[in-house]
């Protein structure tokens, strides 16, 4: 089933569904930890599971002659295979992330063909982050510079157009396309208005729905949705949350994700003396956020797990554990 249909079904039923994101294991780890996470969370009837994509990482290794050797390797490969394995094992819809960074348009086409053959019809189309050590995003030769170009390629395949017209008749794909949106603005956008105009471009190109960057202040999300609607963006905007879990995140999350930590949350975290207490505060805060988002009619709440399931399980228990209440 397509994610957009799951969202519409939840909206029509007045339901709020649970969805979460998984990271592929680090190279060398096996898939059982990932399955264990799904085993813990599947009782909350996830609407779908996202699987992140991690582009190659740059590493400098000192050689015996003292010179540094630049090595490029992927730390978390396997997104496509993991997505297929989860969908086959659990029968839950999966949403593999596809990124522009590190991919030529031909690589992307091959990945989409693989997904299509495996019966995966949902993708989240992203630009991807800048390669470590680079100041700005550089597309791979023959690759896309922005997510809207990736959306355009997927839409073309849905319309039966491949990059090269090598075959007379192309079987069209049927991908449902999600894209990312930033309630607190993407770090590289010159201003919030411009960022929303670019988001609208992704939607006008063919994205079916938007998933947000994490936020800790629901007011920022509600304001973002209002600004999107005013700008003519009509597709669903799925809120995404990440529970606070370590003291270090007070500095790391704003720095990495360009999000504000509300004063009250920062105070509660600062009063903690260890990370176990922070995790408790993080769960309580996320539960408060979820209750308000649910009340406001969010059809799905998406959770960034960052590979840790226990706090997500606690939140889901509090928010989605009780029987779903029909609003209408
Ligand atoms: P874009 O939409 O291309 O936007 C990037 C910047 O360029 C923005 O500042 C935007 O305003 C601007 N822009 C957009 N279009 C244009 C245009 N046509 N011309 C000029 N400027 C433009 N990263 C990963 O590497 N792997 C993942 O799995 C992953 N999952 C994510 C999931 C979610 C829900 C979110 C919110 C982010 C995720 N990211 C992931 C991070 C994401 O790749 C980065 O935030 C990245 O910097 C931007 O990606 P984007 O798709 O929003 O890019």
DSSP state letters, 182-247? -TT--TT-SSHHHHHHHHHHHHHHT--EEEEPP-S-HHHHHHHHHHHHHTT--S-EE-EE-----T
User: What's this model's pTM, rounded to 2 decimal places?
Assistant: 0.95
Beta bridge partner(s), residue 212: 181
137 pLDDT above the threshold of 50: yes
| Ligand 1 centroid distance, CA of 106 (Å) | 20
CA dist 146 and 201 (Å) reads 11
60 pLDDT above the threshold of 90: no
Radius of gyration of the chain, Cα coordinates, nearest whole angstrom: 20
| Angle made by CA atoms 137, 143, 144, in degrees to the nearest 5 | 65
Q: What is the pLDDT of residues 254-266, one digit of tens each?
A: 999 999 999 999 9
**Quick one: which atom of ligand 1 is closest to the CA of 182?**
36
The region of weakest confidence among 94-103, 140-149, 221-230, 313-322 is 313-322
Neighbours of 156 (CB within 10 A): 17
CA dist 216 and 212 (Å) reads 12
| Ligand 1 close to Cβ of residue 126 (< 6 A) | yes
| Ligand 1 close to Cβ of residue 186 (< 6 A) | yes
DSSP state of 180: E
Q: How much is the average pLDDT of 296-322?
A: 92
Q: What's the first-to-final CA gap in the chain, in angstroms?
A: 23
| Ligand 1 centroid distance, CA of 61 (Å) | 30
Q: What pLDDT does 170 receive?
A: 83
Q: What pLDDT does 322 receive?
A: 59
Which of 174, 179, 158 has its CA nearest to residue 121?
174
| Ligand 1 centroid distance, CA of 125 (Å) | 9
Task: Report helix, strand or coil for 38.
Answer: helix
Q: Write the CB contacts of 170 (distance below 8 Å, at least 6 apart in sequence).
A: 160, 161, 162
User: For residue 318, what are its two tokens?
Assistant: 């509090």
User: For residue 220, what are its two tokens?
Assistant: 């920022």
**Beta pairing class for 176-181 and 300-304:** unpaired
User: For residue 292, what are its two tokens?
Assistant: 């308000």
| Ligand 1 close to Cβ of residue 85 (< 6 A) | no
CA dist 266 and 263 (Å) reads 5
Q: What is the pLDDT of residues 272-290, one digit of tens each?
A: 999 999 999 999 999 999 9
Helix axes 310-319, 32-41, angle to 10 degrees: 20
Q: How far is CA 275 from the centre of its chain?
A: 25
The region of weakest confidence among 142-156, 223-237, 301-315 is 301-315
| Ligand 1 centroid distance, CA of 199 (Å) | 10
DSSP state of 42: G
CA dist 314 and 245 (Å) reads 13
């Amino acid at each position: 089933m397509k994610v957009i249909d799951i969202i519409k079904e939840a909206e029509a039923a007045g339901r709020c569904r649970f969805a979460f994101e998984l990271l592929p294991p680090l190279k060398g780890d096996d898939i059982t930890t990932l399955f264990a996470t799904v085993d813990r969370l599947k009782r909350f009837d996830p609407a779908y599971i996202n699987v992140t994509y991690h582009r190659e990482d740059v590493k400098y290794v000192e050689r015996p002659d003292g010179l540094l050797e630049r090595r490029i390797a992927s730390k978390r490969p396997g997104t496509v295979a993991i997505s297929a394995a989860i969908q086959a094992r659990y029968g839950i819809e999966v949403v593999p992330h596809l990124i522009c960074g590190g991919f030529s348009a031909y690589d992307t086409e091959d990945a989409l063909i693989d997904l299509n053959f495996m019966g995966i019809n949902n993708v989240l189309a992203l630009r991807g982050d800048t390669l470590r050590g680079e100041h700005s995003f550089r597309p791979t030769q023959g690759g896309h510079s922005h997510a809207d170009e990736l959306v355009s390629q997927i839409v073309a395949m849905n319309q039966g157009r491949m990059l090269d017209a090598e075959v007379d008749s192309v079987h069209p794909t049927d991908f449902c396309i999600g894209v990312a949106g930033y309630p607190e603005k993407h770090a590289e956008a010159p201003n919030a208005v411009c960022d929303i105009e670019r988001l609208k471009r992704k939607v006008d190109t063919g994205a079916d729905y938007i998933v947000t960057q994490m936020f800790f202040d629901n007011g920022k999300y509600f304001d973002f949705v209002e600004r999107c609607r005013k700008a003519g963006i009509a597709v669903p905007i799925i809120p995404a949350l990440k529970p606070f879990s370590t003291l270090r995140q007070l500095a790391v999350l704003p720095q990495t994700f360009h999000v504000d930590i509300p004063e009250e949350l920062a105070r509660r975290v600062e009063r903690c003396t260890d990370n176990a207490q922070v995790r408790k505060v993080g769960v309580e805060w996320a539960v408060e956020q979820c209750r308000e988002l649910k009340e406001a009619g969010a059809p799905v709440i998406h959770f960034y797990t960052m590979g840790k399931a226990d706090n997500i399980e606690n939140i889901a228990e509090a928010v989605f554990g009780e029987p779903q209440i029909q609003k209408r």
